[in-house]
A and B are shown apart, each in its own frame.
Chain A
Amino acid sequence: SQTIHQWPATLVQPVGSPLSLECTVEGTSNPNLYWYRQAAGRGLQLLFYSVGIGQISSEVPQNLSASRPQDRQFILSSKKLLLSDSGFYLCAWTASGETQYFGPGTRLLVL
């Protein structure tokens, strides 16, 4: 069966520090991968999606970036965090269908 992992689970970072969140999927090949952010009391905002290794589409211009160095690995990064980057970050995958399967999320607090 397929599983999706995210780490860390929680993170507290100072403004201006770098960020690296990692997501890995097991039990499937060539998944579509997604990064979402959910601010408190808000819906899910799509940040990036990837249909293959090295292929990244950005939905929202900001100080975040994403990379997909391996088929089942998706990384979200920032060189300098802003206060507004605080939120709950979710990684998700789909196969060929439209149902998305989400990881456990990373709660990021930027102080």
Chain B
Amino acid sequence: EDKVVQSPLSLVVHEGDTVTLNCSYEVTNFRSLLWYKQEKKAPTFLFMLTSSGIEKKSGRLSSILDKKELFSILNITATQTGDSAIYLCAVPKTGGFKTIFGAGTRLFVKA
């Protein structure tokens, strides 16, 4: 059965800390992995990863994919209170119509 597993499920850090969020997957005919950030309402797109070893970066956020070991990490450096959110990892299934989401990592950054 296809699945996407995220860890940890929740995390509390202080401002300025660096965090690493993990996502492992088992999905047949893998094509891409996506990261979303969900604050109070709708998830917003962060990154899409398709190739192993190529880091995607946006400001203090970066992500990388390992297609051999079937996982991805999302790094956030110098965390700020505005980074507090649920971070979702998602893998589209073959055909692109269905996407499997992980349960998410709930990050709380203390001032």
Q: Which residues of A contact B (CB under 8 A)?
A: 32, 36, 41-46, 49, 51, 57, 59, 90, 94, 97-105
Contact = CB atoms under 8 A, between A and B. Distances in A.
B98 A46 contact: yes
B34 to A, nearest CB: 6
Nearest to B104: A43
Contact of B43 (A32, A41, A102): A102
Interface of B: 6, 31-32, 34, 41-45, 48, 88, 90, 92, 96-99, 101-104, 106
- Which 5 residue pairs across A and B have the least CB separation, nearest first? A102-B42, A43-B103, A44-B101, A98-B92, A43-B101
B95 to A, nearest CB: 10
11 contacts: A32-B96, A36-B101, A42-B103, A51-B97, A90-B43, A98-B92, A98-B99, A100-B45, A102-B42, A103-B42, A105-B41
B96 A98 contact: yes
A44 B91 CA distance: 12
Contact of B42 (A42, A98, A99, A104): A104
A99 B34 contact: yes
Contacts of B90: 44, 100
Given A43-B88, A43-B101, A90-B42, 8 more contacts: A41-B106, A42-B104, A44-B43, A44-B101, A59-B98, A90-B43, A100-B99, A101-B45
